[in-house]
Amino acid sequence: MEGLPSDETLLIGVAERDIGAFHALYERHAGWLALRLGRRCNDRDLVADAVQDTFVAVWQKPRGFRGDGNVAAWLWGIAIRRLVSRLRLRTDIAAVFDSAGPTPAAEDQVLLSVEYGDIGGALARLSPEMRAVIQAVVLDGLTAKEAAQLLHVPVSNVKTRLYRAKAQLRAALAEGLS
């Protein structure tokens, strides 16, 4: 990775209207953004549109990145919000948060519980609705209002679920540690 321009340098290029820098930024980030968005929304065309919106937004305001944090996190913030915008217009598609996967293997489970007080298990034991809210607000950095738009539920609902989920997690952690 040495010798390649940093993401910040590419952003400066974008601010100077260099399509080459813009393309390089796209090549670096469009893939993982699409994958991550695809885990929240099953509709691939919608995800593709959200990716397009994201990069057009980056072109329009490259200086929106204030230099705090890293560029990837900033891009994700834009991307998830673009997905929320797109989803708002399409009531037929809902966000999908559930991963279909099995629980981790036994040894991993033990490791996780030893190191993290079994957060993994605690998360897995949450109901899907509560898990979705935790993912949206805690992991994806959305506000309660944005999470409500993403999940097509009222804001009060989001807040209640968040409160309950946090309480449940806290209890599970306390239990695990003791």
Partner 1 sequence: MTASISLRGVGRTFGATRALADIELDLEPGVIGLLGPNGAGKTTLLRLLATALPPSKGAVRVLGRDPDVPAERTDIRRRLGYLPQEVGFPRGFTAFAFVDYIALLKEWTEPTARHAEVRRVLDQVGLSDAAAKRIRAMSGGQRRRVALAQALLGSPPVLILDEPTTGVDPEQRVTLRTVLAEIARTSIVVLSTHQTEDVAALCERVVVLDQGRIRYDGQVTELVRQAADRVWLADQPDPAATVSWRTGTGRYRNVAAQARAGVEHVEPSLEDAYLLLRGQLPNPRAEEVAS
Partner 2 sequence: MTAWHVDDETLRRYVERTDSVAEGASVEQHLLTCAQCRTRVNSAATAFGLAAVWERTRDAVEIPLPSPFERLLRAVGLPAHEARLVAVASAFRGVWLVGVTAVLAFAALAAMIGHVRGLWLFLALAPLMPCLVVAFSYDRRWDPALAPEMVTPYPALRLVLLRTIAVLALALPALLLFGLVVPDAAPFAWLLPAVGFVAVVLAASTWVSPLNAATVVSAGWFAAVWVVGARSATPAAMLQTRTQVAFLVLASASFGIFLVRGRHLRQLRPWR
Among 52, 127, 143, 156, binds partner 2 (CB under 8 A): 52
Among 5, 8, 9, 17, binds partner 1 (CB under 8 A): 17
- Is 61 near partner 1 (CB under 8 A)? no
- Joined tokens for residue 86: 């797109």
Asked whether 90 and 157 are in contact (CB, 8 A), the reply is no
Among 19, 72, 167, 174, binds partner 1 (CB under 8 A): 19
- Least distance from partner 2 to the Cβ atom of residue 36, Å: 6
- Is 16 near partner 1 (CB under 8 A)? yes
Rounded to whole angstroms, how far apart are CA atoms 41 and 163?
A: 24
Among 48, 93, 155, 173, binds partner 2 (CB under 8 A): 48
- Is 18 near partner 1 (CB under 8 A)? yes
Binder of residue 29, out of partner 2, partner 1, none (CB less than 5 to 8 A by kind): partner 2
- Least distance from partner 2 to the Cβ atom of residue 120, Å: 3
Positions in the binding site for partner 2 (CB under 8 A): 1, 7, 19, 22-23, 26-32, 34-36, 38-39, 44, 47-48, 51-52, 55-56, 59, 70, 72-73, 76, 99-104, 112, 119-120, 123-124, 131, 135, 139
